[in-house]
């Protein structure tokens, strides 16, 4: 069991709390991981991925919470990766869980900040009894990231939920990361606040993926059609939460439907999703589309837990990893290879060179900018110069050949 | 009465709601403006400037609200220019006002977004009964601006306070201003979220002013001393809210105290503040510092309403404005001259040329960037080249003519 090895090694290497989640919220996809965590004696947190659909109700989330608790979850996480959790449902879900399973049920609320509303959702979740909320230090916060820690501290001052965090120490952490963040500017999102997500249900990252897919096909002007197609495809698939990988799977299929005709071409991943190979969603999948998937993928739909169909692969992985240059014989290396086969190959071979800093210091970035502006300095002209040659002056016009 | 002319003309030109405020929260500084508004038949809103100090209490704000209502305010504004209003005091102040003066007392909450917490404050203010809150469309929002309108709409969905605003129409407004904002990029603040304001009580704009004052004096390294001096100077002045102009007056005096010794040099404005020429603050002013101000400014402290000491100036202004090139004879022109004497002089003279667009279109900005990179492309040399011409090699030195 690859997953059990991963959990075991993570625990040995210092992981204390395991937030176990599944993109489709299929409890069967979480059961083995949760059992593996409990076997290590570490904290097993069962996770609810939050999304919005006609089928996703407060009652449904409360029921799922119960399934996770039955599975042995020591605490629950309400995970809102797309910043869709509004204050009122935040309050109602937390209250519902506490009232159904007892006030001592520990709940961790995890909201991203993308839509700008989730700090308020954290406030209402806290008022409803949430025990833990996730934030990021202000210099690493906001946009598609988390809400700022210092702001949460200020938010709770004077309420019965004062944090007692030491602001002086938080500000030192902030200043440290304010210096780190610019190194990773290349990976920053331009989005500060995006409330389109509420109407389209399409997270920002998914939208930009779809736009670039369309542009590659010379169909950049059809983005609106695709945005209207996404909720229909999502409904056909039984309303999966749109989070990696389901967001990419649904998004790509919507693009194909618009460009080629409805389900004329189906991606292998979407066929798998329709046939149950990623697990069960909250909604029924559309029978006609299941039939198209079956015909195109030449596979039957399944109702069992998908991972039950995967043969044990640990021994094979040990053997394959063992053949790589620089493999150090540890289970950790086998796991690295299992998760990232091509990255691991390069990493093992170059490991003796020591760690690499993928970020640039401010100085390196300045040097790089200067170098690129040097090459930009080649004249695109024409520019007139006065040129001395052999003691004689010439008027010379120069332009790029 | 200049103020009455201003109010009268504003009403004639379409202003419907007048938000009357004073930086020191001195009701005497608001009484005449409020009376002038009521005389026009337009809506007179009395304003409380929010700040934090040992003297500023919920009870104090509730009392000030009563003074504004007694003065004839038809509604109240709670104005939080520095984004210091936390959720709990927001709730308590609004509740206090409603319970003291009746649930039908109309209250408008106006928060900037700088500290990142005020959307939550708006939520708690609304729960406490606030009738109106101020926001900005998302593409013009956040940082030192306001909270995003669309986010507020999403925040209230499912609560008893649903806005019923049409999101489609909001998104059209957003898209329009998303195209406008880049034209004014030069005026943007880099601050997205700044929680230092809570500990230092120094708004971002004030801090950068003080930093540049110190640097001009070659004392850029003494900013921390100045930040510690600000609350002491503020206390000596009776804890005025730090908002234009009091923020600049207190900030400059703190810089002087650090560089020259405590109150060795006093700005004219700070002396006026100490002597009552801006009005009364909530706190007592320090008697020793009043004496220093009296000695340096060679004026006595006053306790009357400061504007009572100003002679009527309308006729003088009409005469002066009348001498300017391009003056059109209207009261509006007199008022423009009264408020902005030097700007008005240029404006009247160049008015026949038509309106100017201070912003640049995206196209103009691109053209400008291209032009500046063209000129950067010319070699600044001298650079030596080996040049073949007509089959012969030359050693050539090139520099810009």
Residues A216-265 pLDDT 10s: 888 888 888 988 899 899 999 999 988 888 888 999 999 999 999 999 99
The pLDDT assigned to B361 comes to: 62
DSSP one-letter code for B136: B
* Whole-number Å distance between alpha carbons of A247 and A196: 16
Contact B86 A193 (CB under 8 A): no
Contact A154 B379 (CB under 8 A): no
Element (H, E) at B47: strand B43-49
Region of poorest pLDDT, from A187-196, B1-10, B213-222, B292-301: A187-196
For B79-119, what is each residue's pLDDT tens digit? 998 899 999 999 999 999 999 999 999 999 999 998 999 99
Contact A115 B151 (CB under 8 A): yes
Helices (H), B163-262: 167-180, 196-200, 204-216, 223-236, 246-260
Kindly state the percentage of chain B with pLDDT values over 70.
87
The pLDDT assigned to B374 comes to: 46
The encoded tokens of residue B146 equal: 């306001």
Q: Which CATH code fits A201-308?
A: 1.10.472.90
Considering only the beta carbons, identify the residue of B141, B158, B396 that sits closest to A89. Answer: B158
The answer to whether the peptide bond before residue B245 is cis (omega within 30 degrees of 0) is: yes
Considering only the beta carbons, identify the residue of B142, B155, B400 that sits closest to A117. Answer: B155
* Whole-number Å distance between alpha carbons of A239 and B193: 36
B2-187 and B201-308 share one CATH topology? Answer: no
B174 and B139 Cβ atoms separated by less than 8 Å:
yes
A387 and B398 Cβ atoms separated by less than 8 Å:
yes
Considering A298-307, B203-212, B366-375, the range whose residues carry the highest mean pLDDT is A298-307
Considering only the beta carbons, identify the residue of A115, A148, A198 that sits closest to B195. Answer: A148
* Whole-number Å distance between alpha carbons of B309 and B118: 39
A308 and A257 Cβ atoms separated by less than 8 Å:
no
Q: B222: exposed, middle or buried (C-beta count within 10 Å: 0-12, 13-18, 19+)?
A: middle
| Residue to substitute from A90, A155, A380, interface B, most B β-carbons within 10 A | A155
Closest chain B CA to residue A166: B199
The pLDDT assigned to B357 comes to: 67
A285 and A238 Cβ atoms separated by less than 8 Å:
yes
Distance of CA A71 to CAs A35, A58, A221, Å?
8, 20, 48
Considering only the beta carbons, identify the residue of A142, A167, A389 that sits closest to B193. Answer: A142
The topology (CATH level 3) of A2-187 is: TIM Barrel (3.20.20)
The structure tokens 């589309």 sit at: A289
3-state secondary structure A170-181: HHHHHHHHHHHH
Extract the runs of DSSP E, i.e. beta strands, from B81-197: 107-111, 132-133
For B244-291, what is each residue's pLDDT tens digit? 888 889 999 999 999 999 999 999 999 999 999 999 998 899 999 999
Contact B119 A115 (CB under 8 A): no
Considering only the beta carbons, identify the residue of B150, B195, B378 that sits closest to A379. Answer: B378
**A392-398/A383-389 β-pairing:** antiparallel
Tell me, yes or no, if the pTM score tops 0.80: yes
The structure tokens 């009563």 sit at: B66
Distance of CA B189 to CAs A117, A141, A187, B143, Å?
22, 17, 22, 7
Considering only the beta carbons, identify the residue of B89, B116, B142 that sits closest to A148. Answer: B116
Closest to A19 in 3D by CA, of A106, A95, A83: A106
B60 and B239 Cβ atoms separated by less than 8 Å:
no
Maximum pairwise Cα distance, chain A: 96
State in Å, rounded, how far the first CA of chain A is from the last one.
63
* Whole-number Å distance between alpha carbons of A94 and A87: 11
Collect all residues of chain A within an 8 Å Cβ-Cβ radius of residue B192: 142, 192
* Whole-number Å distance between alpha carbons of A151 and A147: 8
DSSP one-letter code for B142: S
- Residue B57 to chain A, least CA–CA distance (Å): 13
B247 and B206 Cβ atoms separated by less than 8 Å:
yes
- Residue B107 to chain A, least CA–CA distance (Å): 21
The pLDDT assigned to B53 comes to: 87
Closest chain A CA to residue B86: A155
* Whole-number Å distance between alpha carbons of B92 and B90: 6
Contact A119 B117 (CB under 8 A): yes
Region of poorest pLDDT, from A15-24, A255-264, B297-306, B348-357: B348-357
Region of poorest pLDDT, from A113-127, B171-185, B204-218, B301-315: B204-218
The pLDDT assigned to B214 comes to: 87
- Residue B376 to chain A, least CA–CA distance (Å): 7
The encoded tokens of residue B260 equal: 């020259």
A28 and A305 Cβ atoms separated by less than 8 Å:
yes
Task: Say how many residues make up chain B.
Answer: 401
- Residue B116 to chain A, least CA–CA distance (Å): 6
DSSP B321-341: HHTSTT--S-HHHHHHHHH-H
The structure tokens 């009296």 sit at: B294
Contact A115 B157 (CB under 8 A): no
B50 and B241 Cβ atoms separated by less than 8 Å:
yes
Mean pLDDT, to the nearest integer, of B160-175?
93
* Whole-number Å distance between alpha carbons of B258 and A155: 33
* Whole-number Å distance between alpha carbons of A155 and A161: 10
What confidence category does residue B209 fall into, taking pLDDT thresholds of 50, 70 and 90? Answer: confident
Closest to A117 in 3D by CA, of A91, A81, A83, A69: A83
Taking 80 as the threshold, does the pLDDT of residue B363 lie above it? no
- Residue A89 to chain B, least CA–CA distance (Å): 8
Element (H, E) at A383: strand A383-389
The pLDDT assigned to B375 comes to: 46
A2 and A314 Cβ atoms separated by less than 8 Å:
yes
Spans of chain A below 70 pLDDT: 1, 190-191, 200, 204-205, 357-401
What is the distance of C-alpha B20 from the center of its chain? 14
Q: In whole numbers, what is the pLDDT of chain B averaged over residues?
A: 88
Contact B117 A155 (CB under 8 A): yes
A62 and A48 Cβ atoms separated by less than 8 Å:
no
Contact B158 A380 (CB under 8 A): no
Closest to B273 in 3D by CA, of B231, B234, B228: B234
| Residue to substitute from A119, A161, A374, interface B, most B β-carbons within 10 A | A119
DSSP A307-339: GGGSPP-HHHHHHHHHTSTT--S-HHHHHHHHH
* Whole-number Å distance between alpha carbons of B126 and B107: 10
3-state secondary structure A359-371: CCCHHHHHHHHHH
Collect all residues of chain A within an 8 Å Cβ-Cβ radius of residue B123: 87, 120, 123-124
| Residue to substitute from A89, A379, A385, A395, interface B, most B β-carbons within 10 A | A385
The pLDDT assigned to A355 comes to: 79
Q: How many CB atoms lie within 10 A of CB A28?
A: 17
Distance of CA B145 to CAs A154, B277, B375, Å?
19, 31, 37
Taking 80 as the threshold, does the pLDDT of residue B139 lie above it? yes
What confidence category does residue B54 fall into, taking pLDDT thresholds of 50, 70 and 90? Answer: confident
Helices (H), A145-245: 149-156, 167-180, 196-200, 204-216, 223-236
Query: What are the extents of the domains in chain B?
Result: 2-187, 201-308, 311-353, 362-398
The pLDDT assigned to B31 comes to: 93
């Amino acid at each position: 069991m690859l997953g059990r090895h991963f959990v075991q090694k993570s625990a040995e290497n210092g992981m204390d709390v395991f937030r176990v989640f599944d993109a489709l919220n299929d409890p069967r996809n979480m059961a083995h991981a949760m059992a593996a965590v409990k076997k290590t004696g570490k904290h097993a947190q069962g996770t609810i991925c939050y999304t919005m659909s006609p089928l996703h109700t407060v009652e449904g989330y409360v029921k799922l919470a119960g399934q996770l608790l039955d599975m042995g979850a020591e605490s629950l996480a309400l995970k809102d990766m797309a910043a869709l959790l509004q204050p009122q449902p935040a309050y109602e879900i937390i209250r519902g869980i506490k009232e159904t399973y007892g006030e001592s049920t520990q709940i961790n609320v995890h909201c991203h900040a993308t839509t700008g509303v989730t700090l308020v959702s954290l406030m209402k979740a806290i008022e409803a009894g949430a025990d833990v909320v996730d934030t990021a230090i202000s210099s690493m916060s906001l946009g598609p990231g988390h809400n700022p820690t210092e702001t949460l501290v200020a938010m709770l001052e004077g309420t019965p939920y004062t944090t007692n965090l030491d602001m002086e120490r938080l500000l030192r952490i902030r200043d440290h990361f304010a210096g780190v963040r610019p190194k990773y500017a290349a990976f920053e999102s331009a989005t500060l606040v995006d409330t389109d997500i509420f109407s389209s249900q399409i997270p920002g990252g998914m939208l930009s993926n779809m736009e670039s897919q369309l542009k590659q096909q010379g169909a950049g002007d059809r983005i609106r059609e695709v945005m209207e197609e996404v909720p229909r495809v999502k409904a056909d698939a039984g309303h999966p939460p749109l989070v990696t990988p389901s967001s990419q799977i649904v998004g790509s299929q919507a693009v194909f439907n618009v460009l080629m005709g409805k389900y004329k071409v189906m991606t292998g991943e979407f066929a798998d999703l329709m046939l149950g190979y990623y697990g069960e969603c909250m909604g029924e999948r559309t029978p006609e589309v299941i039939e198209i998937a079956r015909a195109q993928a030449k596979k039957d739909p399944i109702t069992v837990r998908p991972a039950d169909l995967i043969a044990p692969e640990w021994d094979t992985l040990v053997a394959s990893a063992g053949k790589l240059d620089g493999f150090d014989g540890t289970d950790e290396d086998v796991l690295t290879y299992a998760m990232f086969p091509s990255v691991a190959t390069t990493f093992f071979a170059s490991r003796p060179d020591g760690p690499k800093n993928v970020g640039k210091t401010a100085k390196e970035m300045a040097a790089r900018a200067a170098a690129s502006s040097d090459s930009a300095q080649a004249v695109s002209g024409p520019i007139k110069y006065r040129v001395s040659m052999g003691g004689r002056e010439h008027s010379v016009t120069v332009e790029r050949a």
